Amino acid sequence: MSKKIQKRNAEASKALIITHAITLFSEKGYAFASMDALAKRSGLNKAMVFYYFKNKKGLYAAVMHKILIQIQSAVLEENKQHSAPREELEGFVRTYARFACKHPYLPSLLLRELSDNGAIVPEVLFTSMKQLFVLFSSILKKGEDRGCFVHTAPMILYFMVLGTLNLMITTKTLRIQAHQEDSEIDTFASGNIDEIVDYIVEEMLRMLVVPNKGDNQ
């Protein structure tokens, strides 16, 4: 039969808390996200938060873990569909970008953590970022080995991609506003995420592709 509607359901409550915590943390940042507010949003008693997650930090760690696992598996999964370095690279950028755009908490939480030596939950953040980086480097490496990419410093390119995407996404409203105030300056205000990715990928390839070997996918 259909699941009966329970008045008590640990998993559901936990999920409810996490869901609202994600938006709350990304809206307000860690410090300004109050657990009272979270309880109110979730429609649960504040004590439940501590019951399930021990303390604020624990909850935050759970939140970060969840979204990092999500982005990680999204990118890793997508990557399986390709084998040519150029496609892999484009897939990496686009998947990350689309995900980040659909879940705008990702860039803001990520930038905040990164700008702060992984202030609140270093380990969680770290392992995830590392895994993505390993994939990214392996794509570049494969390209090099096949002779279609020139040699580069993967860490710098990685941050180039992430930095650009995250900033473009988080500053979207800012850029639109700036363009309205002064239409002279081109803030790429109209660009949607796929156009941005097109641009970035184009630039990346211009950096990477070995001259006169462009067709060597």
Partner DNA sequence: ACTATAATTAACTTATTGGTTAGTTAATAA
Partner DNA sequence: TTATTAACTAACCAATAAGTTAATTATAGT
Q: Which residues bind DNA (CB under 7 A)?
A: 6-10, 12-13, 32-37, 44-48, 50-51, 55-57
**By rule CB under 8 A, what string of x and - marks binding of each residue 81-110 to a copy of itself?**
--------------------------xx--
The number of beta carbons lying within 10 Å of the beta carbon of residue 204 is 22
Contact status: 47 vs a copy of itself (CB under 8 A): no
Helices 105-114 and 10-32: crossing angle in degrees, nearest 10, is 50
Contact status: 175 vs a copy of itself (CB under 8 A): yes
Contact status: 112 vs a copy of itself (CB under 8 A): yes
Q: Which is nearer to DNA, 120 or 148 (CB)?
A: 120
Q: Give the C-alpha distances (Å, rounded to integers) separating 117 from 2, 148, 215.
A: 47, 35, 41
| Residue 201, CA atoms < 13 Å, CB-side half-sphere | 19
Of a copy of itself, DNA, none, which one sits near residue 166, judging by CB under 5 to 8 A according to partner kind? a copy of itself
Contact status: 153 vs a copy of itself (CB under 8 A): yes
Q: Which is nearer to DNA, 45 or 192 (CB)?
A: 45
CA distance 159 to 155: 6
Helix, strand, coil percentages (3-state) for the chain, rounded to 5, are 75, 0, 25
Contact status: 12 vs a copy of itself (CB under 8 A): no
CB 57 within 8 A of CB 120: yes
User: 179-187 contacts: CB < 8 A, separation 24 or more?
Assistant: none
Of DNA, a copy of itself, none, which one sits near residue 147, judging by CB under 5 to 8 A according to partner kind? none
DSSP state of 185: S
Interface residue list for a copy of itself (CB under 8 A): 29-32, 107-108, 111-112, 114-119, 122, 126, 130, 133-134, 137, 152-157, 159-160, 162-164, 166-168, 170-171, 173-175, 178, 182, 185-188, 191, 196, 199-200, 203, 206-207, 211
